[in-house]
Amino acid sequence: MPSGSVEEIRQFLQAHEEEVRSAPEEILQALAADPRKSVQALGLRIQKEREKRNREIQRVKALYTFDEAFGKRVAGVDEVGRGPLAGPIVAAAVMLPPGSELEDLILGINDSKKLSKKMREELDEIIREKALTYAIYEMSNLDIDRLGIGYCNQEVFRGALRSLSVAPQLVLSDGYPVKDYPGENLSVIKGDTQSAAIACASIIAKVHRDRLMENLHQYYPQYGFDHNAGYGSPDHVAALKAHGPTPLHRMSFLRGILGDGDSSNE
């Protein structure tokens, strides 16, 4: 590490970020011992970043360990889009390769709702690249109106699992069991914060559906699908009352909103 100006030290640390993360404590001790307070501050920042990264590694490793503890080929499944007024319901199923060493981990995975849009999209690419197999299955608003949201909610799970290229020995589902699934299935409360496979499924399902709704926004811009994803936000409801429903809307969800009887979406 250079012993020049603070800016030279900063540039060196940025250029060798990965090495610094795993560097021996002597580097941090040298920064802490430097008489310049700005250099000491750099050392403190690096120390905090390393501690934060180590906590993240341990958190994510626990998600992988949860799945591996079953001793079976595990698939995680999760859905998004049960409650919106428009658009499809989507499920994803993900199987990760065995291993919970650092190089195997996808750091950052979590309940998709806890992640920023940018983070979800970055993780979506990594998950698709690293997964042993994954599948996405959707049912349209017309399916929901014809068959009911309860049935479609379960069928997107089953459809995603049927579409995997490798058969799982155990399916972990978020919150509740998958009805009529012929194999072994275990529901996990808050599964997207417990299981690596469920967390990954949560992320790719949400990214897929959000992108779909953003594309549909081009055809129906007044409804705000690019930011509300079809959920009943105030601007979406106002647009419905002003312009009426589109072919993407779930008519069975709109009865109360449009003054046409029961608003139940079950």
SS3 of 63-93: HHHHHHCCCCCEEEEEEECCCCCECCEEEEE
Q: Are residues 99 and 12 in the same domain?
A: no
Q: What is the pTM of this model?
A: 0.82
Out of 23-32, 125-134, 170-179, 180-189, which region has the weakest mean confidence (pLDDT)?
23-32
Q: Are residues 53 and 77 in the same domain?
A: no
Question: What's the total number of domains in the chain?
Answer: 2
Domain end: 182, 205, 228, which one? 205
CA distance 194 to 174: 9
Domain for residue 116, yes or no? yes
Tell me whether residue 174 is annotated as binding: yes
Q: What is the mean pLDDT of residues 247-257?
A: 94
Domain for residue 99, yes or no? yes
Calculate the CA 222 to chain-centre distance.
27
CA distance 196 to 66: 8
User: CATH number for the domain including 195?
Assistant: 3.30.420.10
Q: For the segment 130-174, what is each residue's pLDDT rounded down to a tens digit?
A: 999 999 999 999 999 999 999 999 999 999 999 999 999 999 999
**Residue range of the domain that includes 24:** 6-57
Q: Are residues 77 and 197 in the same domain?
A: yes
Tell me whether residue 124 is annotated as binding: no
Q: Are residues 99 and 133 in the same domain?
A: yes
Tell me whether residue 79 is annotated as binding: yes
CA distance 85 to 248: 9
Which three-class secondary structure state does DSSP give residue 192? helix
Domain for residue 106, yes or no? yes
Q: For the segment 7-20, what is each residue's pLDDT rounded down to a tens digit?
A: 665 565 555 555 55
Q: For the segment 182-236, what is each residue's pLDDT rounded down to a tens digit?
A: 999 999 999 999 999 999 999 999 999 999 999 999 999 999 999 999 999 999 9
Average pLDDT value for the chain: 88
Q: Are residues 128 and 177 in the same domain?
A: yes
Which one, of 248, 186, 253, lies nearest residue 213 by Cα? 248
Out of 21-35, 104-118, 135-149, which region has the weakest mean confidence (pLDDT)?
21-35
